[in-house]
Amino acid sequence: MSLTVITYDGVMGRWEPDARGRLEQAAMVLYVDRGFEQTTVAEIAERAGLTERTFFRHFADKREVLFSGAGALQELMVGAVRDAPASLSPYDVIALAVGAAGNAIGSGPERARLRQRVIDDNDDLKERELIKLATLANALSRALHERGVDVPTASLAAEAGVAVFRVAFERWVRGPVDTRLVDVINESLDALSTITKRP
């Protein structure tokens, strides 16, 4: 896989905009080239043409470069559950939330592929990814319960939705580059609906 590297030379001062994006780009390049464990915050900041202090204004630690979007994604999905029409079933509400996540993440999985490569190579990062997904499932379950869904049904629907998201995301980052995540999510939702139908 070829990797387009954005370099920052002396012309770009520390005041330039999008410091967060520069740090993310620098970190991803270093994580892929050298490995997550071997990369330091100082090296990430230096490559981005910034300071360590700037790094810590944007990220709690170097792991959060990979997971910083989880909170916003959770807020989006929980908001979709809360705003869903009252007439929808728990399954349809969760399908709506997962679809919203797919639309938000969009198309072009290049960065997601790099991120997944880094996570796949590190057991601690894989564990952190599972924790983030479990946190997401809990938040979705609570949001469903707030809509009047009983706790067991809310938990089951939320866990199913997160499973669909996880499986679809894994397919997406390993599939054709022109595939949209939301399309893979919809295929996975259809597959789940089919396999759960009783004869």
* Mean pLDDT to the nearest integer, 63-83: 94
Q: What is the pLDDT of residue 8?
A: 31
* Mean pLDDT to the nearest integer, 41-67: 95
**Among 67-71, 92-96, 120-124, which is the least confidently predicted range?**
67-71
- From residue 156, alpha-carbon distances to 3, 10, 15, 184, 197 in Å are 40, 54, 48, 21, 16
* Closest CA relative to residue 46, chosen from 64, 65, 69, 30: 30
- CATH superfamily of the domain spanning 19-65: Homeodomain-like (1.10.10.60)
* Mean pLDDT to the nearest integer, 49-65: 95
Same fold: 19-65 with 69-195: no
Work out the number of other CB atoms within 10 angstroms of the CB of residue 87.
Answer: 6
What CATH number labels 69-195?
A: 1.10.357.10
Q: Is the pLDDT of residue 2 over 60?
A: no
Q: Which residue has the higher pLDDT, 16 or 78?
A: 78
Domain spans of the chain?
Answer: 19-65, 69-195
Structure confidence by residue, pLDDT tens digits, 104-158: 987 667 888 889 999 999 999 999 999 999 999 999 999 999 999 999 999 999 9
Structure confidence by residue, pLDDT tens digits, 154-196: 999 999 999 999 999 999 998 888 889 999 999 999 998 888 7
* Mean pLDDT to the nearest integer, 67-95: 95
Could you tell me what percent of the chain has a pLDDT over 90?
Answer: 75
Q: Is the pLDDT of residue 7 over 50?
A: no
